[in-house]
Chains A and B, each alone.
Chain A
């Protein structure tokens, strides 16, 4: 019967192909944060053109990146939530910051233009807690004199999937609202008191666009790409700031990287007049004593290249590169952490 014969022939053919296929030993695999994925992908392209070495990065989410590292299926993990000192110690892993950026509150309100609204931390927490349910609430109105707020119900939209963006956003809310901290807390997914979820930042942007009266939070680049409503924020210094690369950079610059053990410095609600309050970083995590030392060394070469040659790519894609002085501290730490 030709049907069975063709299956057998096909099996044989595939067996041959798989024998002739070669795995690239020089390739480095990484996985994790979707926040860093666009710029990491850009860097990988430039690095491959410059050196011929490929970096395979899979954007699966911060927690999944850490899990992949710990199960030793990748050389490096990337996470928007730093690993605790104890966990780093226990697993023999070191981490360092790779990029920073901003998280922006986005909305779709009848008659309110992008960039018109101002929020502060407490109001934001009250909205996401469900204490404020209408856009013309006096707490919002007090922050926005002169803006005509409609009598419209607020639809809270959040990230349905586990996300470092959610971690940093809820970390900010926990810092500015004791109520939020005790009732909800901060993690990559939380038990939201109100609202509904959309998948990924792209899903959030689309849903906000489609839903009148909605509010949510996304990475800055999605606001730029999708031209959706964004708010200004009142920061810890009491100043109203616009979401710009400069205000994100201020948050990163005002963070005390030099003294933060294991670079564990979450840059939400940082001091400084120009500081954007909901800024975020992504850390790269690697084993100090990996099974494949050559792969580790290749990965560090890539990150070295990214620190020194990748700043322009970062700015082009609306990220804030790690400042040169911090990059120097990181590369110094590599000597003791990885023996490089």
Chain B
């Protein structure tokens, strides 16, 4: 009798486990399916546009020969600059909030404000930078674009740094303190190192997010079909170029837009894999 009850409970538990695990597998399959659909669409529509010209020539007009090299350059420069601004500030801010002021009302308020900033619509950020940087500077510039993107990346890096630092066991902090190490040394040599994979995930998510942003760049970095390297002048980026070319009636430019979409997506995939393998080697 008792065994029967127990085995029926066991059966129910196992059955529930099987259902839930099947759902977990199904979720993963669905996630991969979404990715496959997007990549397949991009390859199907974009692969014809991929040739040597795309990587060597600037954006063409309808019916002309050309590529996307100026937009690729722009995306790398603007995103890179934005991350160079956002990463140190984000990590340091997250450090303050967790290591120095954790629990204080002020820090809680600051964390809260950071989370609000996370959901700031990117176009509003663009509008803000437009008023604060573009208008006083009398023109679109790569710097303005980088500042707008930095403002979007900053709360992401800050938030992940907080989350990851909170997961570092306190014993580690106490151990380094007991060794007589100053706080900054303990942070840079021990704490950051143990939270490194998580922080890197945050940085990558931020890069992934901002490198594909269109809305905040439209009014800040602007657009140019030519090869511009000056940081104080308008600079094309891949998303803005895709946005512009996809709206052109010319079928050749539309194809180029799909090609650009394929390139930026594949590039971010490569970046992800590279950074993951680096992080993996370090953490193990």
A–B contact (CB under 8 angstroms): yes
Q: A-side interface residues toward B, CB under 8 Å?
A: 1, 3-4, 7, 10-11, 14, 17-18, 21-24, 27, 29, 31, 34, 37-38, 41-42, 44-45, 48, 54, 56-60, 64, 71-74, 200-202, 219, 221-222, 224-226, 291, 316-318
Q: What's the nearest-Cβ distance from chain B to residue A87, in Å?
A: 19
Residues of B within 8 A of A21 (CB): 229-232
Known contacts: A4-B192, A23-B232, A23-B233. The answer to whether A38 contacts B80 by CB under 8 A is: no
Known contacts: A41-B62, A45-B60, A225-B251. The answer to whether A3 contacts B230 by CB under 8 A is: no
Known contacts: A10-B84, A38-B62, A41-B225. The answer to whether A73 contacts B140 by CB under 8 A is: yes
- Whether A73 lies near B193 (C-beta < 8 A) is no
Residue of B nearest to A46 (CB): B61
Q: Does any Cβ of A come within 8 Å of B3's Cβ?
A: no
- Whether B226 lies near A225 (C-beta < 8 A) is no
List, sorted by A's number, 10 A–B pairs whose CB atoms are closer than 8 Å. A3-B192, A31-B222, A37-B244, A38-B62, A38-B249, A41-B62, A57-B223, A58-B244, A225-B251, A317-B63
- Whether B61 lies near A56 (C-beta < 8 A) is no
Known contacts: A58-B222, A73-B140. The answer to whether A45 contacts B247 by CB under 8 A is: no
The interface-forming segment of B10-18, B110-118, B131-139, B172-180 is B131-139
Q: B-side interface residues toward A, CB under 8 Å?
A: 60-64, 77, 80-81, 84, 87-88, 134-135, 138-140, 143, 188-189, 192-193, 196, 218-219, 222-226, 228-234, 244, 246-251, 254
Residues of A within 8 A of B193 (CB): 1, 3
Enumerate the 10 nearest inter-chain pairs by beta-carbon distance, A residue then B residue, closest first.
A23-B230, A221-B249, A42-B61, A56-B224, A58-B223, A41-B61, A1-B188, A225-B249, A45-B61, A54-B226
Residue of B nearest to A19 (CB): B231
- Whether A59 lies near B244 (C-beta < 8 A) is yes
Picked from A10, A48, A73, the residue with its CB within 8 Å of the CB of B226 is: A48
Q: What's the nearest-Cβ distance from chain B to residue A101, in Å?
A: 11
- Whether A56 lies near B228 (C-beta < 8 A) is yes
Q: What's the nearest-Cβ distance from chain B to residue A172, in Å?
A: 21
- Whether B225 lies near A44 (C-beta < 8 A) is yes
- Whether B218 lies near A72 (C-beta < 8 A) is no
User: A22 CA to B254 CA in the complex, in Å?
Assistant: 31
User: A196 CA to B175 CA in the complex, in Å?
Assistant: 63
Known contacts: A4-B192, A45-B225. The answer to whether A317 contacts B231 by CB under 8 A is: no
Known contacts: A54-B224, A58-B222, A224-B249. The answer to whether A11 contacts B84 by CB under 8 A is: yes
User: A50 CA to B72 CA in the complex, in Å?
Assistant: 26
Q: What's the nearest-Cβ distance from chain A to residue B59, in Å?
A: 8
Residues of B within 8 A of A1 (CB): 188-189, 192-193
User: A57 CA to B188 CA in the complex, in Å?
Assistant: 46
